[in-house]
Amino acid sequence: MQLYVDSETGGLYMKLRDGHVHDSLAVDEGVYVDVDLAGRVLGVEFLSMDEFSETVARFGGTQNIPEPIEDPDEFLANIPEIPERVEGAGFVSA
């Protein structure tokens, strides 16, 4: 896995593997999962570090991404509801 941080925007990209992005699944506002044609997850993009912290906290500190994502609509439908954003929310270790 490789991590890229954009110092200008504060965005974070977690590259899991090389490949051609076929689709970007909008998981949350400012959070996208890039998949190839076979549904393999290539990377996860967070448009800000706040989005990263809030998303990780929303999943209780950990989240397993299925390999591959065979049905993007089903994957997105099973994401937990977004709670109200809490000031200072961040990573919660499992």
What would the two tokens of residue 12 be?
A: 């974070």
Question: Given 3-state DSSP classes, what are the helix, strand and coil percentages for the chain, each rounded to the nearest 5?
Answer: 15, 25, 55
Domain span holding position 71? 2-77
- Pairwise CA distance, residues 51 & 11, whole Å: 9
Within a domain: residue 58? yes
The three-class DSSP label of residue 68 is coil
What would the two tokens of residue 85 be?
A: 């954003």
pLDDT at 82: 52
How many domains does the structure of the chain reveal? 1
Within a domain: residue 85? no
- Pairwise CA distance, residues 66 & 51, whole Å: 21
Asked if the model's pLDDT at residue 76 lies above 90, the reply is no
What would the two tokens of residue 52 be?
A: 């990263």
Q: What percent of the chain has pLDDT over 90?
A: 39
Q: Summarize pLDDT for 39-72 with one digit per residue, the tens.
A: 999 999 999 988 888 888 877 777 777 778 888 8
- If you ran DSSP here, which 8-state letter would residue 52 be given? H
Asked if the model's pLDDT at residue 21 lies above 60, the reply is yes
pLDDT, mean of residues 33-41: 91
When comparing pLDDT for 77 and 42, which is higher? 42
Within a domain: residue 44? yes
- Pairwise CA distance, residues 32 & 51, whole Å: 11
Within a domain: residue 49? yes
- Pairwise CA distance, residues 35 & 57, whole Å: 23
pLDDT at 81: 64
Within a domain: residue 92? no
Within a domain: residue 82? no
